[in-house]
Every structure is written in structure tokens, then in C-alpha cells.
Amino acid sequence: MDLKSRIREVPDFPQKGILFRDVTPLLQDAEAFRYTIDLLAEPYRGRGIEAVVGIEARGYIFGAPVAYALGSQFVLVRKLGKLPALTVKVEYALEYGTSALEMHRDALAPGQRVLIVDDLLATGGTALATVKLVEGVGARVQGLTFVVELAGLGGRGRLKGYPLSALVVYD
């Protein structure tokens, strides 16, 4: 199945000069969505993944069904101030300024085998911050998987040393 044909290109969003890769048409196609989840989960079947971590917000859409497919728990990584219990936090640099991500402190156990899932890999800043959250509580990142990778933005290079896959890659 050609997943790329189910990803819409939206020019000048969210600002002029940006070509946004919109996965909502893929989500609206039940067969393509099911196929995407199967492709994301398949390389990790039988590899002892104990938790899938989804990055807010579209990482939840893909991560939760991957966790289900793998028989794993699902863990939320959220923007600052959105989680109700005790959290761990990582700040990271954006193009203009900084941001922070949080995860519940008790979401993962030391040594737990984790797969990180998100819809898109661009510069890698959010994914790397998520790796730091996971490793900061002693869990072990077994891989990162994305629906879309914007290869020209260098995210893969920032995540060297971690198994990484993407279903659709744009230069």
C-alpha cells in the first residue's frame, strides 16, 4: 500500500514557507490506518517491548494501537503542566526558544524495554527529549518509530545509536 499517497501536503502551514505533511487523510482511511499500525508494530513483535511511549499529540494516535498490538502498556509524554501526578521533566531547544515535556514519574520502571512512537520526525528535538525522559527514569529505549520522516531536517542524526525507523521518508 502506498502510504505516501495518503499524506496530504499543505503549503504555507503553520507559516509561510513550510510544507506541512498532514496524516489526517491516512487516519480517515481505515485500511491504511490499520496497515500503518501493523507496519509500525511488526519489527518489534517478540522483542520484549514492555511499554510504548507516545509523544503528544499525534504520537498517541499511533502509539496506543501499537501498544495494543504488542501487548504492552502505553505511556503518555505531554507538554508541560498537563499531567496530574508527580512528573519528570526535560527541557529542550526549539528553533526560537525552549519547550519542555513531562511524563509521570511512575510511568516506567527501571530496566523496562520501551518503544517510542510519534507521527513525524523532523529535527529530532522532541524525540531526543523523550529519550532523555525514558532513560532518566532508568528505562531502556529499544527503538523509535515514526510514520513520516523529514530527512532533510537531520533528526535521524540527533538520534544516533538508537534503532530508528520511518514508514514514509521525504528528503
Catalytic residues: 58, 95
DSSP letter (8 states) at residue 133: H
Cell of 48: 520484549
| Under 8 Å between Cβ of 4 and 168 | yes
What count of other Cβ atoms lies within 10 Å of the Cβ of residue 76?
Answer: 19
Closest CA to 117 of 165, 46, 153: 165
Question: H/E/C letters for each residue in 69-130?
Answer: HHCCEEEEEEECCCCCCCEEEEEEEECCEEEEEEEECCCCCCCCEEEEEEEEECCCHHHHHH
User: What is the distance between the alpha carbons of residues 59 and 70, in angstroms, rounded to a whole number?
Assistant: 16
